[in-house]
Amino acid sequence: MKPSAANAARKSVAEDAQQVLRAIELIELGARMQVLESELALPRERMIRLYHELKGKAPPRGLLPSSADWYMTWLANIHSSLFYNAYLFLREDAGEPHIDALTKGYRLYVEHCQTTGAEVLLDLTRAWTLVRFFGADIVQMAPCSRCNGKFVAYQYDLCKGMVCGACCPPPRAGKTIKPSAARAAESESAHAA
């Protein structure tokens, strides 16, 4: 075997191992098969086997999110903006490749939610879709006129003087109906008294 052929074989094995490690990380973060197929150069059958091995079940089927409207509701917009700002920092300032910026940015987003006690609204597939929407010029980052933070907005929205959902939440924001178990316990204690 010639030295150059041996180096090429070693390189392909190393690249294959890197692809497998990335697939494992994406699957553990909840990536759907469409994300894996789009981001990795592994055969579909191999990714399905990896998914089975890690999750103990077949990958979920169904369509991916296809509308930017979800990212524009007030709470989803805050979560999406938090993730995308982390992704952008990792991509542009830290020089991370796209796939690493995606996974690390998503991990930072999840850690932030866990630290603050907030619900994780954005799953990895939605985060990946958001990055693709930016790449297709469907959405943009727009500055808030109050806090100067940058938030997800439609590409062709007039954003001058925009106020974000964090600075000006809707009137009923955070006022959800109590879960039925809590209501039942409350009514039992009221009847007991």
Q: Is 167 annotated as a binding residue?
A: yes
Q: Is 147 annotated as a binding residue?
A: yes
Per-residue CA distances from 60 to 67, 110, 116 (Å): 20, 21, 30
Are the CB atoms for 87 and 131 separated by under 8 Å? yes
Q: Is 164 annotated as a binding residue?
A: yes
Q: Determine phi and psi for 2, rounding to 5 degrees.
A: -70, 150
Count of H-run helices and E-run strands, the chain: 7, 2
How many whole angstroms separate alpha carbon 26 and alpha carbon 178? 34
Per-residue CA distances from 35 to 7, 78, 177 (Å): 30, 23, 35
Other beta carbons within 10 angstroms of residue 138's beta carbon come to 15
Q: Detail the residues annotated as belonging to a binding site for Zn(2+).
A: 144, 147, 164, 167
Q: Detail the residues annotated as belonging to a binding site.
A: 144, 147, 164, 167
